[in-house]
Amino acid sequence: MLDAQAMAQISETSVAVELETSDMTLNIGPQHPSTHGVLRLVAKVDGEVITDVRPILGYMHRGYEKISEVRTYPQVIALINRIDWTSGYANEIPFVVAAERLMGIEVPERAQWIRLILTEMTRISAHLLFMGSFPLELGATTPLMFALRDRERVLDVLESVTGGRFHPNFNRIGGIKPAAGAGKEQKKLTQDLPAGFFTETEAAMDGVIASTDQLEKLLRKNEIFVARTKGIGVLPPEVALSYGVTGPNLRASGVPYDLRNETDYLPYDQVDFEIPVGTEGDSFDRWWVRLAEIRQSANIVKQAIQKVPSGPLQAKVPKIIKVPKGETYVRAEVPKGVMGYYLVSEGGQGPYRVKIRTASFSNLSMLPWILEGVIVPDLLAVMGSLDFVLGDVDR
């Protein structure tokens, strides 16, 4: 015999069950206009509220780690450009540095500074893409066009040095490759940068800084934009750290963690810059932190072009590169966060094993946590603000 209290409880639960609307299972992706590639989310939707979400990865798996084992070192550099296609140049750096460390090569200072300049310009171009794509997720089309216009200037400069806009494949173990189209004469003289590079870069950076002001004006005080992003998708610093979130997403949560300050893979210690951090960790902060980082990067580039010393571009390396037996791990701050290569060499012409830690993969791992309880229209305001690239997730 049940007592009255238990009866009441049972009838209450049965009522609660009856009143629930049935959940709808919604596949978002792989072919969806705004998942930046082929991410598939299986979401349980109650009305418009997401009750459960499961990301399904691997639609873009290209097996880079395995392919790297059967390629020589210069070939691998061309491959890893494509991991995160929005920041091709920055992907090269940690791998090259890892190989150089195993070989014990001292990279000439000029090459290091040029690497730094190009990395920061890649960061600017990647973040400018975000400045366009994120508002687009919220339905604002104009920032995309403005951001792409300014990104184009940066890419032009990048192209004039490396010959490539997206996939420069410009680094060599021991230094950098002589500039594209520099010609035989010029090669002899300076061996690297095309004429007028510094003035052009400086102008491009001024343009970038001006354009960040414009992008900020377009959106920062736009009431709809603020209403859509403030307090949406809040990521507390503890959660971010526990999921291994890095890069602007982590800094937006208020953790000033930036590898440019902590390791010495490039001479960042000789330039002044700030690390912008957010306060709330919401979508708005993630947007704002990236905007501020564009300005910082432009400033870094402007300082760096004053400091580029003259000298050789390449350290003395053998014609056929063989990395001595050993293993090392090098991390770098790429636009999306921390990217690292664990490189194991058995002394051959190519790596024995490469383990790639990509920023987007770790950043995406907290997706089920952050998306629970979010409503469908906010899904995009959250996902867009995380700025992941599917190639970087699946590699």
Partner 1 sequence: MMPIWLALAKVLLAFVVGLGVVVLLVWFERKIVSDLQNRIGPNRAGPFGILQTVADGLKLFFKEQITPSRVERFVFELAPFLAVVPALMLFLVVPIARPIEITLDGAPYLLSFAALDINVGLLFALAMSSIAVYAIVLAGWSSGSKYPLIGGVRGSAQAISYEAAMGLSMVAVVMWVTTLPGVTDMGAMSVNEIVLRQQGTFFPDLLALSWIPQWNLIPQFPAFVIFMIAIFAETNRAPFDLVEAEQEIVAGFNTEYSGMRFAMFFLAEYLNMFTMSALAVSLFLGGWGGPFLDTIDGWAATALSFGYFLFKTGLVLFLFVWVRATLPRFRYDQLMQLGWKRLIPTALLWLILTTLVVSFREFGAPWA
Partner 2 sequence: MTEYFQDYITVGAFIGLGAVLVLAMLGVASLLRPSNPTKAKYLTYECGVDPVGDGWAQSHVRYYIFGLLFVIFDVEAVFIFPWAIKLEELGMFGLVEMVVFIAILTVGLVYAIRKGVLKWE
- C-beta of residue 371 within 8 angstroms of C-beta of residue 342: no
Segment contacting partner 1 by CB under 8 A, of 197-205, 260-268, 304-312, 376-384 = 376-384
Which C-beta is closer to partner 1: that of 82 or that of 149? 149
- For helices 109-137 and 376-386, the axis angle rounded to 10 degrees is 170
Least distance to partner 2 from the beta carbon of 243, Å?
A: 25
Q: What angle do CA 232, 234, 239 make, to 5 degrees?
A: 160
The conformation of residue 165, written as its DSSP 8-state character, comes to S
Q: Does 379 bind partner 1 (CB under 8 A)?
A: yes
Quick one: tokens of 370?
A: 């952050």
Q: Does 224 bind partner 2 (CB under 8 A)?
A: no
Q: Does 139 bind partner 1 (CB under 8 A)?
A: yes
Q: Does 17 bind partner 2 (CB under 8 A)?
A: no
Q: Give the residue ranges of DSSP H helices in 33-87.
A: 64-68, 73-80
Which C-beta is closer to partner 2: that of 49 or that of 60? 49
Segment contacting partner 2 by CB under 8 A, of 16-24, 151-159, 198-206, 272-280 = 16-24
- φ, ψ dihedrals at 246, nearest 5°: -135, 180
Q: Does 239 bind partner 1 (CB under 8 A)?
A: no
What is the size of the binding site for partner 1 (CB under 8 A)? Answer: 31
Site string for partner 2, 353-392 (x = CB under 8 A): ----------------------x-----------------
Quick one: tokens of 205?
A: 């950076």
The conformation of residue 314, written as its DSSP 8-state character, comes to B
Q: Which residues pair with 41 in a beta bridge?
A: 28, 55
Q: Does 387 bind partner 1 (CB under 8 A)?
A: no
Considering only residues 31 to 90 of the shown chain, the ones binding partner 2 according to CB under 8 A are 31-32, 40, 42, 46-49
Quick one: tokens of 218?
A: 């377009």
Least distance to partner 2 from the beta carbon of 42, Å?
A: 8
Which C-beta is closer to partner 2: that of 20 or that of 272? 20
Three-state secondary structure call for residue 342: strand
What is the size of the binding site for partner 2 (CB under 8 A)? Answer: 19
- For helices 109-137 and 142-162, the axis angle rounded to 10 degrees is 160
The conformation of residue 335, written as its DSSP 8-state character, comes to T
Judged by the rule CB under 8 A, the positions of this chain that interact with partner 2 are 21-32, 40, 42, 46-49, 375
